[in-house]
Amino acid sequence: MFDLSYFFGVFPVIASKLQVTLLLTLTAAVFSIIIGVTIAVIAYYKIRILYPITRFYLSILRGTPLVAQLYFFYYGLARVSEIVLNMKPLTAVALVLSLNTGAFMSESIRGALLSVDSGQKEAAAMMGMSELQTIRRIVLPQAFRVSLPALFNDLINLLKATSLAFMLGVRDIMGQAKSEGAQSFRYFEIYLAVMIIYWLLVLGFSHLHKIMDRKCMEMY
């Protein structure tokens, strides 16, 4: 039956890999936002040549499973690319997660960019601001605020998706759990601990979202 002392023993061991999971999540989050904003802006201006390329990219990344993408990149591309062959699993996972989440974030941001009324853009143009200044200082901050719920949704999905990293041999929360399980076979205690840790993390992110939302509310 449920072994309480084993549970309390294994919990901190698994939780000690929290930093790997968080590092992976935050790194990928930063790059996803950069990718997401870039693609969204390209779509916003329908920039020649780049726009169809990004559409194709989105179609592929949103139209295939993440696990397939991870395997294709880490095992498949390793056959044709020295760089991938020599890449650490953690780096590979971070990269694929960035590319994948970036695709989803771009859609969240794109809609929000369109929600900023054209009157403000005309005001900016009237004053002599450049398109770049306008998008950076007026449109994006407002779009960011509008897309905040969607972005947090993407972020939480990203956090959960990092649990696939163990498939490439990364020792994150999930990876640690797997190796503990191989020794003790106490899967119930181990995966209960895993569930609780991820759940608490997600609650934390949701709380952060609420705080940021309230901050934004006070403004605009």
Binding site for another protein (CB under 8 A): 117, 119-120, 122-129, 133, 137-138, 141-142, 145, 219-220
Residue closer to another protein (CB basis): 93 or 112: 112
Q: What's the CA gap between 207 and 197, in Å, rounded?
A: 15
Q: Using CA atoms of 130, 136, 139, 144 in order, give the dihedral in degrees to the nearest 10.
A: 170
Smallest distance, another protein to C-beta of residue 130, A: 8
Residue closer to another protein (CB basis): 63 or 128: 128
Residue closer to another protein (CB basis): 48 or 79: 48
Helices (H), 3-139: 4-15, 18-45, 50-62, 66-71, 82-85, 89-114, 118-126, 131-134
Residue closer to another protein (CB basis): 138 or 156: 138
Smallest distance, another protein to C-beta of residue 124, A: 8
> Quick count: other Cβ atoms within 10 Å of Cβ 106?
26
Smallest distance, another protein to C-beta of residue 215, A: 13
Smallest distance, another protein to C-beta of residue 166, A: 42
Q: What's the CA gap between 199 and 128, in Å, rounded?
A: 49
